[in-house]
Chains A and B, each alone.
Chain A
């Protein structure tokens, strides 16, 4: 059947085309197959990047397309790098980034370590723990705003129950000192399962024979943990940190839904600030320079990280 189909296609190919294809080298045919992907990559990734870099040196505003575009040199970059508000935004992002990674790695690894032990209902617990990761960030942001309600929120009630404080005496998303922690808690709740899954893959990849050899050498559990488990899970942990670090540096949807950057601008992360500059103030050139600064930062960090990851893998 297959043979006859191929024969039919071969016979249906016009002789001139068939002659041309027969004359192509393997390399040329490979290029023909790869070309659509390369063209797509250039159109979707490379061209917008180059265009953004070009716009970052201009005063272009996308809501005023008929205005003449002027070349302003490095003015956009200088304005961003001397703006105290953007500096505060960077600090808010750093606070969010550092605490989410620390908490997610600690809790994620601990959960993976527990789940890796064989016990009754192991699979059910894994499924339950992984559930938050499968939800949409918009949905998570929305229902956590209800959980954080001072009057009816379950979170406030639980804190009140455990500490004895009045649940309506504090507002997680309305208080400037609590709001940064509110977004950290939600992101940790949502993405810890992701770190857990990566750590679990790492833990399950360690052959039992290594632990058995360590047992023969009478190594304690503590020693086995630090000399076998941690070094062998480290590449997986680093991968998880890389993914979460880059994702959280660009965090937008969850925080917008939860706090909208407020109260004031205390939870306004860089991507929210960038969106405001680009699509609320319509300063396209300025926002492009801002995007280039963020891109270089993430690219630089990712380069170091990939190098470190390769080194750990080679060990």
Chain B
């Protein structure tokens, strides 16, 4: 966990890609879940944030 946080602070690609991937997956789950309309409403925002973040952080150093 500490290593992961260190990677985040040092702007390393692996850790940030993981955060972006989790956001995208979460957004897609929110988009397609049958439980809450509020979650559905915020799904696009979460997916878009994750996708844009993924594009940016994939240029970070390893």
Contacts and interface: CB of A to CB of B under 8 A. Distances in A.
A300 B40 contact: no
A297 B50 CA distance: 10
Contacts of B50: 300
Interface string B8-22: 000000000100010
Contact of B24 (A81, A84, A303): A303
A301 to B, nearest CB: 6
Contacts, number: 50
For the complex, would chain A's binding face be called helix, strand, loop or mixed by DSSP majority? helix
Contact of B37 (A82, A299, A303, A304): A82
A185 to B, nearest CB: 21
A94 interface: yes
Given A82-B37, A307-B17, A297 B47 contact: yes
A54 to B, nearest CB: 17
Interface residues of B, number: 22
A91 interface: yes
A296 B44 contact: yes
A299 B54 CA distance: 11
Interface in A259-307: 293, 296-297, 299-301, 303-304, 307
A300 B32 contact: no
Nearest to A295: B51
Interface residues of A, number: 18
Contact of B40 (A77, A87, A93): A87
A128 B25 CA distance: 38
A303 B41 contact: no
A90 interface: yes
12 contacts: A77-B44, A81-B44, A87-B37, A87-B40, A91-B32, A296-B48, A296-B51, A300-B24, A300-B51, A303-B24, A303-B51, A307-B17
